[in-house]
Amino acid sequence: MPQIILPPSIPGQRPGNVQEKIRLALLDEFPDLLADYTALQFSIGWCWLVERLLRDLRESVTDQAVLNRCFPLKAIYSRYSFLEIHFEEELPDDWDELIQTSKRHSMDTCESCGAEGKRSYRKGNHFVLCVICRFLRKASLTALETS
Ligand SMILES: [Zn+2]
C-alpha cells in the first residue's frame, strides 16, 4: 500500500524543505511517470491531488506505446490557482477527463493546506485558500504592510 502524503499539520506553516521532500517522495513513488527533470512546482496543499492523479494515470494508462511517448511528465505546476500538467507529448483524449478533474479540484482545494478552499484574487495574484489559511495570510500580509 503506497504511503499517502499528508499536508502540513499546521495550516499556513511550511517547514523549509517540505517542497523538496514531497518532490523526492513523488519521484520515489512514481519512477515510471516522473523523472529527475520533471518540474514539480505546485502548491503544497495540492500534493494529495497530484498523488491521486498520478495513481489514476498509472492505473488507467496501460498502453506501453502511450507510456513511452507521453511519460515521464515534463511538469506539474500551479498556474492562476489551478494545477497544470505538461506531458512529453499530448496525452490521447481518453485520459483528458482525469486531467480536467484534477484541475477542477485544485480550483476549490486550499493551496496551502489541502482543505476545501475558495478562489480569490488579491493584489494581482490568484489564490485558493481555506478560511484558516486565508485568515493567516491576511494577518501576515497586514503585519508586513504595517511594519
Ligand atoms: Zn488551508
The structure's pTM equals: 0.82
Q: What is the Å distance from ligand 1's center to 105 Cα?
A: 14
Give the tens place of pLDDT for each residue, 51-84.
999 999 999 999 999 999 999 999 999 888 889 9
Measured in Å, residue 129 CA sits from the centre of ligand 1 at 5
**Domain spans of the chain?**
18-146
Over the stretch 84-125, which tens digit does the pLDDT of each residue have?
A: 999 988 888 888 899 999 999 999 999 989 999 999 887 888
For residues 50 and 38, the answer to whether their CB atoms sit within 8 Å is no
Q: Which residues surround ligand 1, an ion (CB under 5 A)?
A: 11, 110, 112-113, 115, 130, 133
CA of 6 to the centre of ligand 1 (A): 13
Distance 102 CA to ligand 1 centre (A): 18
- How many Cβ atoms sit within 10 Å of the Cβ of residue 28? 11
Phi-psi category of 18—alpha, beta or left, where left has phi over 0 and alpha has psi -120 to 50?
alpha
- How far does residue 116's CA lie from ligand 1's centre (Å)? 7
- Cα 144 to averaged position of ligand 1 atoms, centre (Å): 20
Residue 28 CA, ligand 1 centroid: distance in Å: 26
CA angle (134, 24, 80) in 5-degree steps: 35
Cα 122 to Cα 31, 81, 126, 141, distances in angstroms: 37, 12, 7, 11
The answer to whether the beta carbons of residues 82 and 106 sit under 8 Å apart is yes
